[in-house]
Structure formats: C-alpha cells, structure tokens
A and B are shown apart, each in its own frame.
Chain A
Amino acid sequence: MTRAETFFAAGGDDTARAITKLVIMAVGGQGGGVLTNWIEAVARAQRRAVQATSVAGVAQRTGATIYYIEIAPEGTEHPVFSLAPSAGDVDVLIAAECMEAGRAIQRGFVTPDRTVLIASTHRALAVSEKMVPGDGIAKAEEVIAAAEIAAQRFLAADMEQLAVANGSVISASLLGALAGSGALPFPVTAFEDAIRQSGKGVEASLRAFRAGIAVVTAPVSVPAPAVKPATASAPLRGPAKARAEWSALVARVDGLPEAARDMARRGLAKVVSFQDVAYGAEYLGHVETIAARDGGRDGHVLTVEAAKYIANAMAYDDVIRVAAAKTQSARLTRIDGEMGRKDEQVLQLTEFFHPRAEEIVGLFPAGLGARVEASPKWMARIDRLFNRGRRIRTDRLRGFVMLYLVAGLRGWRRRTLRHRIETDHLRAWLDQVEAYRARNPELAVELLRCRRLIKGYSDTHARGLSKFDRVLAGIDTVAHREDAADWARRLREAALQDEEGKALDGALATIRSFLN
C-alpha cells in the first residue's frame, strides 16, 4: 500500500463548495460537447484546474445527454473532482431545450439556494409527444413555472432561434448566455478567445455568442410572444359581386351571441373559401339554428363549438381542396421564404399524391358515384387505373396546370358523391346534437367536439370515421346518465391517444362493465 500522509481536521462545512459545478443537459446532436469544450478551454486559459466529463455512446443519437464540468477556485492545484453531478450540488445548469430543463429540475440539479438555470425555451419534441394522434405536446408552461421556483436565477430565451438567426448553432448562443449571466468569474473576452481558438465557423459563432449575452443582460428577460391576429391584415380578394354578398353574410354574424362571433367569422371565412358564399350562408344557417336554442349556459359554449366544428365538417378535405391549397398564389412565396431561396436560385417542387379509387369516385356525380362505389368490380377497375403514387412537379407547367384544373372543379363539387356523403354525415350528426341538447346540453357540446376525431385522408380518414362512430355509439349507451357528458369527453380523449384505438377499447369496456 502506498501511504499518503494526509490529515484533515473535520470542520463541518462543505469544502467542495468553492468548486464551481456546471451541468449541461442537451438532446443528442445539439453540440453539447462543443459547448463543454469551450467552457473547459475558458477555465484552463484562466489558469484554473478544471475537469469535464460526458457519457458518450448511443445516448448521443438523439437521446437526452448530459455533460459535467467542475472548475476549481484560484490557487487550488490538485483538487479532487467528482465525475458526475449530484442533486442539490450544482451552481450552473445549462439546458439546451425546454424539457431538458424540466429533466434537470426533476433530477434535483436545480436548487433555489444556488443554481443559475440558463435554459433555451424552444422545444425539440420527443417521439412520445409527436406520435399521438391528438395533441400530445408536453406543457412547457409547467416547466417554466417550476424553473421559476427551483432556480436561484432563471435565464430563459429561445436560444435555438437566436443561433439560427445568426447562422450558427445553439452551443454558441448558450455560451453567450453563460458569459452574460456572470455565473462564471471570467471576462467576456476569455469566452470569445475560446471560440476563436476552436477555429470553425468563428464569425457566426461570435455573432450568436453576442446575441446570447444580449438576451440575458437585457432589462426584460423574455418578452412573451405576441398573439398574432388571424391574418387580419390582408385585404379581401375576389370578384366584386361575391365580396358584396360576403359583406352581407358577415353582418349576419353580429346576430349571434357575442362569445361566438369571432369563431363564427373564422368558420364562415373557412367555409366560403372552401366553396362559395352560398355555402357560407348554409353554414351560418346551421350555426344560427343552434344559437337560437342555446340557453346561454357556460358563455354560449354550445354555439361557440358549433361555429367551430360545423365549419371544419363543411370544409372537408377532398381532392379539390388539396389541389386549391397546392396551387394558391401565396404558397410559392411562403415556400421560397421557408427554404431560403435567393432570387438567382431555382426552386423545384415535388408533390406526393396517392389517389385511390375512393377519391376518384368521390368526384363522380352523386348518383353514378354511389352505383360505382357499390360495385366491387368497377372499384377494382378504377383502382387499377389510378391507385399508384404520383409525384407531381408543381414548379413545372404540366403538373401545375393539372392541379389547377382540379382546383377549378370547385363549382362541380356540390354535385359530387363525396359532397353527398359529407352532407348526410353532417345532417345525422347535427340531428343527434339536437336530440341530446334538449335533455343534456353539456352532452350536446361534447358531441360537437367529437368532430375532432375525423381527420386525414384515405386510411387515416377511414380510421377517424370509425373511431367517431364507435365513440358516438359509446356515448349513446350512456346518454341517459347524468354524467354522460363526462363519459363522452373521456371516450373522445381516449380515441385521440393512440392510432389503433386501444385506449378507446379500454374506455368502452369500462362503460360496458358498469352498464351490465
């Protein structure tokens, strides 16, 4: 045994308190290693003993990653560093993504007595959030609220956006935020030197770095994102006659309860743009009927939800609507912007279509279409003709004109099979709403909301429809109960949880269990 003659008299205080402990939590691929190297280089250049550790390996492939740095106080030559952070013992925590800040808090790395939390508020969604058929996005507000309590100082901004705007990556803006926070006793120039010495994309990194400093040293930390008005600025466009009719229709909206007017105006605009002013009048008719019977409970929620979901039901997703969306004038400008196309560059656009017989037959006149659809032989024949993936180049005239012509079928739409199916479905649904309304207005509201289940195209649409039907059937079995609305909500939420409808099956089984 090698005997080291070292003695230390117990004093009771944490002797490692003078070591600065810094944790970086990131998503694999965000450049946490680069940030770690920079911070280590800064400390070393300032003649501090420093140590960095990381866990490499497959965790780096898009998973949650963690880096840890310890910096000894001045004058300590041979400190004993820890290789991993400990709960309650972290001075600076840098979270390169909002939920990673949440994870840091969860693991106890952020404590009110000492931790400076520097977090990027942007989201990199986890697969579990994205794959839910409904809205599975985790609530960032809860993390922000917890951070306000857990951190001694909480510095937050969208560091990703800041970096991208400066042509760099998030490690640079985060380093800036760290330098600006004053959490490390090193001058800004020391950080800049570290970036310069790393030698790659130096100018862009420095720009993002300075933006990072600015955002945490500005008097107001993060301005809340302004709520955008719904495309109000653009002037109404179209033929004069239609515009006049439209104005008259909009005036009718003022006859609705105050609470529902905004939704009804948006709904009306959607339906009119989908078809025409006359169709918009039909829409308003439906909404007005319900409004007339709305007792005004819960802020006219029945009318508000009717205004919303009837609009969505009437502006269904058919081939004509998709073609119109793909050929509308604003689209190219938008894509040019998104792709960062410069004037001298050329943009090629490829669309991915895969029509099936159902979509084609949906365009047939209702009577003929219904007969064809009832004949498996004809359906197979049409399927053979049309059912295949089609890549359409909409930057070329041939592809564009093809879709342009389909979009022009708008005038024909009301005669199509698809329209008849949708109209029948709408009527049945609204009749059911009315049937429930008299007995249980809350249940009627929930039934309106079930329209959310129907979305997508082809198989996805069919699956949505079948879930809608199953939920409605389920609701019907409990409609007599006082808590029917509650069950309707639960069934709908279950249906939105997974693709196959396992959660919905479970909820339906529960209902059956207490009914029997």
Chain B
Amino acid sequence: MAERSFKREVEDLKLGQGEVFTGEGILAITKALLEAGVGYVGGYQGAPISHLMDVLADAEDLLGELGVRYEANASEAAAAAMLAASVHYPIRGAVTFKGPVGVNVASDALANLSSSGVTGGALIIVGEDYGEGSSIMQERSHGFAMKSQFWLLDPRPNLPSIVKSVKDGFALSEASNTPVMLMVRIRSCHVTGQFTCEDNRRPSLTVRDALSNPRSDWARVVLPPMSYRQEIDKIENRWPAAENFIRDNGLNEVFGPDKAPLGLIVQGGMYNGVIRALQRLGLADIEGRSAIPILCLNVTYPLVNSEMLDFARGKDALLVIEEGQPEFIEQNIATFLNRARSQTRLHGKDIFPMAGEYTGRVMMDAITAFLREAAPGLLPDQARAPNSPPPDIPDLSKVVPIRPPGFCTGCPERPIFAAMKLVEKELGKHQITGDIGCHLFAALPPFEIGGSTMGYGLGPASNAAFDGGGEKRAVSFLGDGGFWHNGLSSSIGNMVFNKSDSVAIIVDNYYSAATGGQDVMSSRAANPTKATNNPISKALKGVGVDWVRQIDRTYDVGKMRDTIREALTTDYDGPKVIVASSECMLNRQRREKPLRTQAIKEGRRVEAPRFGVDEDVCTGDHACIRLSGCPSLSLKKLDDPLRDDPVASIDQTCVGCGNCGEVADAAVLCPSFYRADVIHNPGRWEAWADRLRRRVIGWLQARRDARVLDATRGAA
C-alpha cells in the first residue's frame, strides 16, 4: 500500500457532465483518461508521476466498474509493451512513468510500438523530471519522440489544458496510427486547479471483449520486409496525417496581436512562465492577454511547417523558448525558415542558457534581453534602464548549509550502511556501486558509500568489470524495487552466469519506498489484487545463487557487520548475496501508529521505546552522528562555559529503532546512549515491582548523596 492514500480523491473521479473538479494535475489526468474511454492503464511509479500510479491503484474498483484493466507493471519496459494491445485492437490504452529515465527503460518497446503503429489510441504519460528538485540525470525525453517517430504533447500547465491534451492525444494517436507521449513537468503534476468534467465513458471495446475476438496481422510485425515498409509508412502516411490533425484541430494556440514585429514560440509547458515574465514587464494582463504574439506549442513534436511559416510571416524576430538541451525545436524551426528563405531572425539559446530550468529570473532576463534588441520601445522604463540598486543583503552562502535528502528517522537502511562503514574501517575502502532508491543516499555524507549509479536494478551489473575478484572484493547495493524491476536478470543473473566473485547487498524494505511505498513482489503485506510475499532469497536460490545470507533485522548492526565481513573474506569465490530486510520506517509508522494509539486507549500494555543521551557523559565528538545522520539525532549546545562542543541530543521524533545503541556498541563508541521504554498500561504486578525497585534505587542514591559531595549543585 502506498505512502499516500487517494481513497477520498477517487470519489472525485466519478463526477459527471458539467460538475467542477478541484484538485491536483495527476488526478485531473486520471479523470481525463476515464472521460476519454480508456480501455486499459498501467505504468511504473517514479516521481513526479508516482501519485498517478497510486491514484490508479486506489481507483481499481471504479476502473473495474467501467471495464478498464489496471496493471501495476513490473517496469517501464513492461508498461510500454502493454500498449501492444492497441496495435491490433481499437482500444485506447495509457501507461505512465517518469522521464527520461523511465523512457530509457521503455525505449525498446516504444520503438517497436512506433514501428508497428497503432489502431487504438496509445498514450504514454511521462512525468518529465527536469530542473530543481529532480532526482535524476538532466536530459530530455524529446529526443526519443524524434528517433522513434511518435508524437509529443507538452500542454499548458493548467488543468483544463492538461485534460484536453489527454483527449487530443488519443485522437491524434488514432488519426495518425502512432503512439503519443504526453509530457507533464514536475510542477504540473502537482499543480492544483479546477476544470469542468464530462461523463466517464466505458471503452467501446474492452480488453475482455478483445480476448474473445482475437486479431493479428503480420504486416504489423517488425520483421523484414515489413519493418522497412513501416518506416516508409511513418514518413508517407502517419507523419502527414499527424500534421494535418494538429493543424485542422488547432492543437497549437496563438495568443496576442495579429501584427507585430516580433513573436515568441514557446513549449506549452513554458507558457505560464512566459506570461508571468510578460506580466511583470507590463506586456500581458493578469489573465494572460498579451501585447506580444505567442505561438504556444502544445504539440512539440512534430512541428507543422506551415504553422511556423504563418507565424513568422511579417515578423522581424522570433524567440524560441525551449527548456533543456539540445535545442531540438529551435533547430527544426531554423530549418523551416531557412528552406523558406525567410528573413525573420531566430533567437533562442543564444539568449537563454543552454542548460537548466527556466526559472522566473531566467525567463524575465532572457525575454527582456530579447525585447531590448528586437523592440526596445515595448519595454517599461525600469527594464530599459534599471535605476534602483538591489538592496544590500548580507551574503549567506557561507552560512546556510546544503540540505540534500537523506534517510528518514528510524530508516532500516541506516544500520546497513553503518555496518558497511565499520567493515571498511577494518578492511579498508572497497569498490562499491549503488543503485536507484533511497539507499543511494548512502553515497552522501555521513556514509559516503558507493561511487556510481548506472540505473535501476543495475547496481551489481555496474560492478561486472570487477567480477573476477582480486585482493579485495567489489560490493554493490541493490534495492528490492530495483531487484524486481530489472536486477534479478540484469544484475544477479549476470553475476551467476559470469561466476562473479563480488558481493551484492540487497536492501529489502518491503516496498518501492523511494517512490512512495508502493508494493513490490516481495512486500510482506497482503494485497487483495497483487501477489506479494515472494521472498527475494527464494528468487536468488532459483537463479542459482548458492551463497545467500538473509538478515531479518537490519538494526542488528553487529550481525550486519559480521555478515558483510564474512562475505568479503570467505573462501567461497562465487557470487555472494546478502538480503538485508527490515520494513521502511515511514510506512511502518504509518501502519503501526494508529494501532498503537488505539491499544493505549483501550488500556492494553504498550511499550514505547525512545533513545536518549546523557549529556554529561557525551563528550561532543559526534562519532555517533558520523555513523547515523538520523534527523532525530541532533546536537545541543550546553550553557556550560567549561564545554566547547555541542553534545548529541535526541528529540521526541525518535522512533526507538535502536541504531544509536547498536552503533555505540558495535563501533565501541561511548556509553552516552540509553534506551527508555515507557510502558503504557503496565500490569498490576509490573507496576508494583517497579515502584518497589524505584524505592530501593532511591534509597541507595540518598545514601550516596549523603556521603559524596556534589559540588556542581552549589557552584557558581
């Protein structure tokens, strides 16, 4: 079950004709799919579209009622492959994953799908993770559309536009027999707003119906000589059909005056940022009416030649506003203009920065620079010659610390990396690779474990060059999500087949945790519609790993450390795999906290553990923090002038996971930590014995107090 529940929001998906929907972009997309009569949906989670998968999962009943099949696909490749259902059947299908990494994984299926062509509308909803807060390499999914010849939508980032583009996307796909990718950016996925609904539509042909009337056509199979015919078909038929559809249905929009010496050509997703810059320059009003012509490309691939030339006609200069690199759109327009011998000057990346997000500042500066050159008369006085110097605000760049993401309070992965760090202290630094998932945070301080990440499920595979072994063994990490996504075959299978002498550590936290706690095959929870409880260690044995160590409580740092040491030093020279399993604390707390509160309320006995630090025992070296980084383990400055350094301190958010005590013990750190278990509703005997013990302890303490001078009490 996912971290966030959309059970309440799912009710909004039932809204009918004329009713107003209020909510997030992700939900609006889901509603649009239902209104468009989609026949099957699927995908693979990953920010920023994780919630789309969560919504679909929570909406499974509603989907069932409408005859829509929902599949939580094993990977993006599996999701894209599912669209094969639209090749022969007139069924609309939609899948979702993040871009561009998900598109990378899916690209094999997407390329085949694009070559075969589709009968039913095939929509790929990609959450483009580019810019601030992104967790992946910065690239564009745009290039995939160009190489495989599928179409790319990039709607204006407001709910009505996004909803419309879902429907346009299906229609375009069907009109041109080509899959369509709908790109939504990070912020559009979570943008809130409203739109007016239509009724949900059952698919005219369901996947169940299709199974009863199967079809096939070998002309659609990618095999010679059809593969070459498909290539010709793309150019001669599908592409022109797409251009006609885009033009005839007005998918792209023009705003502002008809006649002007200049114009802006913008990706749909950039539209709001552009308008904001114009608003600030006094060149557009609050509702977006612009003094400058804007061609808004809700379809960013393919571009329609005639639309571009129409827009350029009579204009001296154009500015292309296209985020990311390389500047595919700008190059394409340049070709159009050049072939038409147009005299219109084309600007874009000569003014805008080649890389990085087009933030408000960047947009404002670039548009100002463009106007200053192309039409200085339009600029407000202030922008022409700024007169007020910026206020003199102290520079805080040396003060404010960076705050990258890290392990949550009580995270079961922390002790795994604490153990790894301890082993490295004993045996020296090792060649270590990471994978994709929360465990990659270990690459950051305080652990600094792992030096590369090559892709989901590819941790052990990226150590393949070292599989032959040497004086030391290579270590790789792999999450349970990555294991089932791709790791079992690409990483573990690779290790077995190549008789790898390396060590792989599988971090099993019972969920696809980094993406929001979705279930995976080895999740321990019972899931009514998915098959869980398939142990990773069983799969390992199945593919031929003989050396497997299963650890069921990662918080046992000593055992964790000993097991890693054993893997690194054993005589066994085949693949060694450690499965380190403990439940993601975020999800565990979410699951257990209400139960615990309920139990306390009902008068049942409940132990609530938490850790503490004796501040007069702590010497302020912070070695414990260098083996933890837990948010609840922090520092406190003492108001004692004899002490220079702040001491460790644990706040009330501690969940009592045990890492602090285990690390203090395993690393022989210090005796400052203590664990305090508050027993709610103790039994009568337990409470009586406790009172008695407290009395005896109190008597012993009073005895000592009378004999030993405690001068700190009377000091100063």
Contacts and interface: CB of A to CB of B under 8 A. Distances in A.
Contact of A457 (B132, B283, B671): B671
A99 B403 contact: yes
Nearest to A7: B257
A6 B290 contact: yes
A373 interface: no
Nearest to B701: A329
Interface in B257-295: 257, 271-273, 275-276, 279-291, 295
B394 A146 contact: yes
B679 A346 contact: yes
B616 interface: yes
Given A64-B403, A325-B617, A407-B704, 6 more contacts: A61-B407, A88-B361, A129-B401, A149-B394, A230-B715, A308-B642
A455 B392 CA distance: 42
Most buried by A among B310, B639, B670: B670
Given A128-B445, A347-B678, A349-B674, A1 B716 contact: no
B452 interface: no
Interface string B393-416: 110110111111111110000000
A326 B276 contact: no
Interface string A372-411: 0000000000000000010100111100110010011010
Contacts of B397: 106
A270 B712 contact: yes
Contact of A14 (B132, B280, B438, B446): B280
B639 A230 contact: yes
Contacts of A56: 47-48, 50-51, 186, 189-190
A104 to B, nearest CB: 9
Given A348-B679, A354-B664, A455-B620, A76 B514 contact: no
Contact of B641 (A65, A124, A308, A332): A308
Q: Which one of A27, A346, A407 has the highest number of Cβ atoms from chain B below 10 Å of its Cβ?
A: A346
Nearest to A98: B400
Q: Considering residues A44, A277, A455, which has the most beta carbons from chain B within 10 angstroms of its beta carbon?
A: A455
Contacts of A111: 391
Contact of B286 (A72, A139, A272, A395): A72
A29 B631 contact: yes
B188 interface: yes
Contacts of B665: 352, 354, 389, 391
Nearest to B191: A53
A251 interface: no
A262 interface: yes
Given A15-B284, A269-B711, A232 B716 contact: yes
A458 B666 CA distance: 12
Contacts of B401: 99, 126, 128-129, 138
A77 interface: yes
Nearest to B186: A55
B256 A6 contact: yes
Closest 8 CB pairs of A and B: A86-B360, A57-B47, A236-B714, A269-B715, A238-B709, A55-B133, A2-B250, A389-B665
A135 B642 contact: no
A350 B291 contact: no
A287 to B, nearest CB: 13
Interface string A6-32: 111111111110110000000111000
Interface stretch (A334-342, A362-370, A417-425): A334-342
Contacts of A455: 619-621, 645
A4 interface: yes
B135 A238 contact: no
Nearest to B558: A389
B19 interface: no
A234 interface: yes
A46 B715 CA distance: 60
B364 A86 contact: yes
A257 interface: no
A339 B651 CA distance: 10
A269 B712 contact: yes
A234 B712 CA distance: 9
Contact of A246 (B681, B701, B709): B709
Contacts of A51: 191-193
A80 B287 contact: yes
B97 to A, nearest CB: 14
Contacts of B135: 57-59
Given A10-B282, A87-B360, A345-B679, A132 B622 contact: yes
B700 interface: yes
B355 interface: no
A332 to B, nearest CB: 7
A277 B622 contact: no
Contact of B680 (A133, A262, A345, A396): A345
B247 interface: yes
Interface in B615-657: 616-617, 619-623, 625-626, 629, 631, 633-635, 637, 639-642, 644-646, 652
A329 B409 CA distance: 31
Contact of A230 (B51, B359, B716): B716
Contacts, number: 489
B276 A351 contact: no
Contacts of B639: 227-228, 230
Contact of B619 (A131, A242, A456, A496): A456
A86 B276 contact: yes
B592 interface: no
Contacts of B715: 230-232, 265-266, 268-270
A123 to B, nearest CB: 8
A55 B135 CA distance: 11
A149 B392 contact: yes
A218 interface: no
Contacts of B621: 133, 455-456, 460, 464
A311 interface: yes
Interface in A173-201: none
B239 interface: no
Contacts of B678: 339-341, 345-347
Interface size class on chain B is: 35 or more
A496 B378 CA distance: 58
A18 B286 contact: yes
B465 interface: no
A52 B191 contact: yes
B708 interface: yes
Given A57-B133, A235-B714, A460-B669, A277 B445 contact: no
B407 A133 contact: no
A396 B405 contact: no
Contact of A135 (B404, B409, B645): B645
Nearest to A400: B697
B629 A127 contact: yes
Nearest to A78: B287
Given A87-B360, A272-B711, A325-B614, A79 B286 contact: yes
Given A12-B381, A143-B400, A266-B715, A458 B193 contact: no
A88 to B, nearest CB: 8
B709 A347 contact: no
A112 B31 CA distance: 43
Given A102-B400, A103-B400, A145-B394, A15 B359 contact: no
Interface stretch (B329-337, B532-540, B685-693): B685-693
B697 A14 contact: no
A346 B610 contact: no
12 contacts: A55-B133, A57-B186, A63-B406, A84-B273, A129-B401, A164-B652, A232-B716, A262-B641, A329-B705, A339-B610, A350-B677, A499-B623
Contacts of A389: 558, 665-666
Contacts of B290: 6, 8
A128 B255 CA distance: 49
A127 B668 contact: no
Contacts of A356: 668
Contacts of A106: 396-397, 400
A392 to B, nearest CB: 9
Given A234-B714, A460-B669, A126 B402 contact: yes
